């Protein structure tokens, strides 16, 4: 899945035709939920999902796969990763951010800078974050936190 910034919100799924019938996409208030209907999801080919949004305040991932977040700017951003997915934030800057990594996925955002951040690692994944200001870190699991930009910890 790729998440991009755009003035207009949109969702695009490129996959085999039967995959479209297995996916459920809905918007409630300001929350977009993408889910697999009962029975699971099988595909012989790649599944490419692109979500374009004017603003992204948070992301919760469950399951497995890869999520790439392109540029985000000037906002608060929260991420919760209880599954086995990998999330990469390519670039951007937010005022404050939170990260909860409780599964086995990895989070790579060392070029995605937060002024202040809070990270909670409960799982076995690796988080690489870029922080310009203060970082509050809570590592209660075997996961690894790597920090770029030399924050006050």
- Model confidence over 39-62: pLDDT tens digits? 778 889 999 999 998 888 889 988
Q: Are residues 14 and 85 in the same domain?
A: no
Q: Are residues 33 and 69 in the same domain?
A: no
pTM of the model as a whole: 0.83
Q: Are residues 47 and 120 in the same domain?
A: no
CA dist 147 and 153 (Å) reads 10
Q: Are residues 78 and 153 in the same domain?
A: yes
Domain assignment of residue 33, yes or no:
yes
Q: Are residues 95 and 129 in the same domain?
A: yes
Structural domain count, the chain? 2
Closest CA to 95 of 69, 107, 120, 77: 77
CA dist 116 and 19 (Å) reads 40
Q: Are residues 116 and 60 in the same domain?
A: yes
Domain assignment of residue 2, yes or no:
no
**Structural domain of residue 87, as residue ranges?**
55-153
Q: Are residues 92 and 134 in the same domain?
A: yes
The CB density around residue 35, as the number of other CB atoms within 10 Å, is 13
Lowest-confidence region among 8-12, 14-18, 61-65, 66-70: 61-65
Q: Are residues 72 and 134 in the same domain?
A: yes
């Amino acid at each position: 899945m790729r998440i991009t910034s755009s003035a207009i919100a949109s969702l695009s799924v490129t996959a085999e035709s039967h995959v479209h019938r297995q996916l459920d996409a809905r918007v409630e208030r300001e929350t977009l939920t993408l889910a697999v209907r009962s029975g699971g999801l099988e595909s012989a080919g790649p599944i490419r999902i692109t979500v374009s949004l004017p603003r992204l305040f948070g992301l919760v991932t469950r399951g497995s796969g890869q999520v790439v977040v392109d540029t985000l700017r000037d906002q608060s951003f929260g991420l919760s990763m209880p599954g086995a997915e990998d999330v990469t934030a390519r670039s951007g800057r937010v005022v404050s951010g939170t990260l909860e990594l409780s599964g086995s996925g990895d989070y790579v955002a060392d070029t995605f800078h937060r002024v202040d951040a809070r990270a909670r690692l409960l799982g076995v994944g690796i988080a690489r974050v870029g922080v310009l200001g203060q970082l509050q870190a809570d590592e209660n699991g075997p996961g690894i936190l790597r920090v770029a930009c030399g924050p006050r910890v």
